[in-house]
Structure 1
Amino acid sequence: MPTKKDIVKDALEDLSKINFKKFCDALVDRRGDRKVAKNKVQDKDFMDVTNVLVSSFTEDETPAVVIELLKSIKCFDEAKNLGNLIAEHFPKSSASKEEHFVDKHRTELIERVTNIPPILNLLLKKKVIQDPVYEEICDTKGNPEKMTKIYRQALKSGICAKDIFFEILKDKEPLLVEDLEKKA
């Protein structure tokens, strides 16, 4: 059985030369608390870049980072394929053998999330949703209805989308997440 690292390595190997260069540029320019220096990826091959990713983000986090970056360079099919392979080989988050937080607390999240505009903005920014879906959800009346659409349209792509959504919830609805985690 392949590891997450193996799956990511294969995905990077399959990129065209120009898309691989765009991917490396996006990795260097990526915002966040963990940065990758240009000299770590400049003139490196897919195996070296995979090793840099795993050492920078851990093997469990690397697929989500790679999917985010692939989407940012408009390699949507490659991102989807990588997400599908990870979901196929690792059906549950390897950090936990339990059901994903956003699945486990679906009903409560649909009923209780109120800070939807910034959540939608971040889902769009992180390329979990595209502009048409963003507009459709924004035009929907009522928070529970908006949350239902987020589940139906944004989170159906798999574990990476759920992980991103969970991180956004921790930032934008921290008290709700804390309350639900205590109940679990």
Structure 2
Amino acid sequence: MSDKTIKFWIIDALENLSAKDLKKFKVMLCDREEEPRVTRRAVEDADEMDLADLLVKMCTESKAAQVTIDTFKKLGFNNEATMLASKVSSGDGNSAGSKYMTAGQHFIDKHRISLIERITAVDPILDRLLMKKVITQENYSDIRCLNTSYKKMRELFEMGSIRSSVKGKDCLYEVLMESEPFVMEELRERS
């Protein structure tokens, strides 16, 4: 397995674009209606490394890869999209080392909304995550104080260890498979 990161593969993919295509990429990135939104000022003088840094800072590496792939597809850069997706999902990027990645996106990221909507018994999940040291006692207490499962799950997804760590996402996936196997199986079948 390569020690290159997803950010490296994004930079590499952007460097393979002509100056004209890179400019198109920046425009399309700014015109996205989905989150995360990018301002023209942020990309105006950005080179390939700056763009990759910006995308990774705005979201996780796997989401940055997916945003890049989606933008390539919208521009008709299908070869670039396919190459980046294969590098990311084949284990050539650091978060691609997860067995729960598909098309450059972690299962947890891909099904975030469905998981927030469908998981109602959050406390047992928190217990397991605390025991595995994925969340801290403070995180555990803060989330338990929230009054709805929606709020609890949303807050859980915002924890740094879940939001930006592949290991945290992998652990959450495994805990959800233990505590909510029917929901998880249904989502896996949809993938």
TM-score when normalising by structure 1: 0.55
Percent identical residues: 28
Runs of 4+ in 1 over 6 A off after TM superposition: 177-180
1-structure distance, mates of 2:97, 2:120: 17
Distance 1:69 1:164 in 2: 21
1:84 aligns with 2:86: yes
Which residue type is aligned with residue 183 of structure 1?
E
Q: Does 1:170 align with 2:118?
A: no
SS at match of 2:67: helix
Q: Which runs of 5+ in 2 are unaligned?
A: 122-175, 182-191
> Number of paired residues?
124
2:58 aligned partner, one-letter code: S
**Aligned position for 1:62:** 64
Equivalence for 1:10: 12
1:168 deviates by: 8.8
Alignment deviations for residues 65-101 of structure 1 (CA, whole Å, 9 cap, x no partner): 100110011101100000011112258x93994545x
User: Are residues 1:52 and 2:54 paired?
Assistant: yes
Distance across 2 between alignment mates of 1:58 and 1:6: 14
CA distance in 2, matches of 1:3, 1:82: 12
Is 1:36 the equivalent of 2:33? no
DSSP 3-state at the match of 1:61:
helix
Q: Secondary structure at the match of 2:95?
A: coil
Partner Cα separation in structure 1 for residue 97 and residue 51 of structure 2? 27
Q: Residues 159 and 43 of structure 1: is their aligned pair in 2 closer, same or farther, counting only changes over 3 Å? A: same
Where 1:60 maps in the other structure, the secondary structure is: helix
Give the Cα–Cα distance (whole angstroms) in 2 for the partners of residues 99 and 26 of structure 1: 29
**Alpha-carbon displacement from aligned partner over 1:97-154 (angstroms, at most 9, x marks no partner):** 4545xxxxxxxxxxxxxxxxxxxxxxxxxxxxxxxxxxxxxxxxxxxxxxxxxxxxxx
Q: Distance in 2 between matches of 1:5 and 1:46?
A: 10
Asked which structure has the greater CA Rg, the reply is 2
Equivalent residue, structure 2, for 1:183: 180
Q: 1:8 Cα deviation (Å)?
A: 0.5
- What is the alpha-carbon distance in structure 1 between the residues aligned to residue 5 and residue 16 of structure 2? 17
Q: C-alpha separation between the residues in 1 aligned to 2:28 and 2:108?
A: 18
- Cα RMSD between the aligned structures? 3.3
Q: Which SS does the other structure have where 1:82 is aligned? A: helix
Q: Counterpart amino acid of 2:114?
A: K
Please tell me the residue identity of whatever aligns with 1:94: S
Q: Aligned runs of 1:131-142 on 2, under 5 Å?
A: none
